[in-house]
Structure 1
């Protein structure tokens, strides 16, 4: 991973009185009055497509010796997986190799594009003293936050030790299972950030309740997740027999065998769990993320190109191990579905998109035990 200080800076979002773009609905009204699919349709740009990302060298670096890496990992379908994460109840079925580290860092970049360079939607003021980053992945969000907030103490936690051995003085990484009992102090964290952990969380009620118990009174939490089971389309260009549906249905069925029902995911789903845990002032920010550079508008087109680059390995990262191990699907068939999805994106005739949700909530000041 490159030094965070060497990454190009993104401009901070500035207050504006202009209408919001179709990309964002902020905040999201209750689902029954304004479903996510009511966002303004994306317009197709028939002029040209571009994909300006190359396959440059990985930004992630190994944090273990070769011998240790071999012992701690398993290899299936040509990809490397963290042994403990996959062998222990199939807890986490995404790869743990350089290709995946690049994808995770690119996903972080996509989040910055969506949020106009911001790391979060929560109204954080100053340097929150104690910060927890759940599902830290390569640690890139935690490092960026720690760099911007030198007065914060940031803990990044993940199932797999895929983080760099070097950090800023105020950032530490830990390996742990977020679904087990948290051992942190209660009423402790001034900001809890959770991103892209949905495929590994079976009990969202327990997960958000632990967030509530360990958040300090007045603290904010933020959940950032994306749609996984569905593809959305505004112009009818995605047919019923699309390979996208084959992928979504098989991935959903596979994860359901583990008790993870990704078909439920929506902004309102995460909002409800935060409210039931006790958080107040819960808001949902919903964004459309095009699969490919087919939309009009500079930001949409660029965002779609970045998403396509992520999905080049993302379909395989989420689906390959899940389909072969949990559905007993032949590897060739699973890989054909994943490759078919990416090739369909490159072709540009099926103009689909997914949703990205940022859901924030605040723990009441009087909630301390």
Structure 2
């Protein structure tokens, strides 16, 4: 099956996002609210800490919660990527339905289900640590619980397409993880690795001062990442290099700027920024609260202030912060 994706050239340095200086203008709050609310109805054992639910089996390895609030956020992340790719599930183009597909870290399963629905000739497996996928699936989609950093039990040279998205908090050994992806990809098989910067947010016009809660947030969480063995300083070129070193060819890196808030002049970018701000409203807590209290030694009140301050900053349209989304596409040699 051929999908219509606008031709995109690999881009390491996207152009600056133009800010909308008219802060009184209507940035379509109603439509953004409607689109975010429509996702809340989408699609074992847990423990409860600080008012959030965590999957018991994986909570020491994966510190993000697994409750409905987090599941809604994960579905919203999927929505963000659909907006970013103009409604497409991947940047990878297929001439025919890939026969066997693996979705690594499938979360709620929303990407796997939509991929299976779009590519009906594909057999899709979604794998994750936490059992938060729906009990019903399409005939060509199934979900499995496993640890991606342990030895894979799938057949080697098997998968025609492997998809991996936002696993920066899950994968400790990226070279080993990518080597397993290589071993279990079929000759000629395609992969797509999607990650984001997790050590800073950027600003091109000096509207984000050093004493802003945004850089303060990252200064607080960085020591926690290091203690946990998480390399949060990886960026697009790092992922591209590791994919090449794993043995893949035709490796391309696509870098996208995503405004962290509804401050951009362009309507599409402003909508992306509004979705991003909605994500951050719960994502800042999901990513940081447990780390700051359990690993960073902060009190609950101290951690709460860090989280609430940064969430409020992303709604400040005078601070033109953005983060980077990285897509790495590649192919295993025949």
Same fold, judged at TM 0.5 (above)? yes
C-alpha contact (below 8 Å) 2:116/2:140 kept by paired residues: yes
Counterpart-to-counterpart distance in 1, 2:162 and 2:6: 24
Give 1:332 shift. Answer: 1.2
1:13 is aligned to 2:5: yes
1:329 is aligned to 2:304: no
1:346 is aligned to 2:315: yes
**Structure 1: where are the runs of 5+ without partners?**
1-10, 16-24, 29-35, 62-67
Q: In the alignment, which residue of structure 1 is the partner of 2:240? A: 271
Q: In the alignment, which residue of structure 2 is the partner of 1:199? A: 169
Residue in structure 1 matching 2:46, options 73, 78, 81: 73
Counterpart-to-counterpart distance in 1, 2:248 and 2:86: 26
C-alpha contact (below 8 Å) 1:252/1:261 kept by paired residues: no
Q: In the alignment, which residue of structure 2 is the partner of 1:64? A: none
Q: In the alignment, which residue of structure 1 is the partner of 2:33? A: 53
Give 1:40 shift. Answer: 1.4
The alignment's TM-score, normalised by the length of structure 2, stands at 0.94
Give 1:77 shift. Answer: 1.0
C-alpha contact (below 8 Å) 1:230/1:248 kept by paired residues: yes
What does 1:139-150 correspond to in 2, within 5 Å? 139-150=109-120
Counterpart-to-counterpart distance in 2, 1:219 and 1:13: 19
- Taking only aligned residues, the RMSD between alpha carbons, in angstroms, comes to 1.6
What does 1:1-369 correspond to in 2, within 5 Å? 12-14=4-6, 26-28=9-11, 36=12, 38-47=13-22, 48=25, 49-51=27-29, 52-53=32-33, 56=37, 58-60=40-42, 68=44, 72-86=45-59, 90-263=60-233, 265-365=234-334
SS in 1 for 2:41: coil
Deviations 1:155-197, CA, capped at 9 Å, x for gaps: 0001101100001000000111100000000000000000011
**Structure 2: where are the runs of 5+ without partners?**
none
Counterpart-to-counterpart distance in 2, 1:252 and 1:159: 24
Give 1:53 shift. Answer: 1.5
The alignment's TM-score, normalised by the length of structure 1, stands at 0.85
Give the total of aligned pairs. Answer: 325
C-alpha contact (below 8 Å) 1:50/1:305 kept by paired residues: no
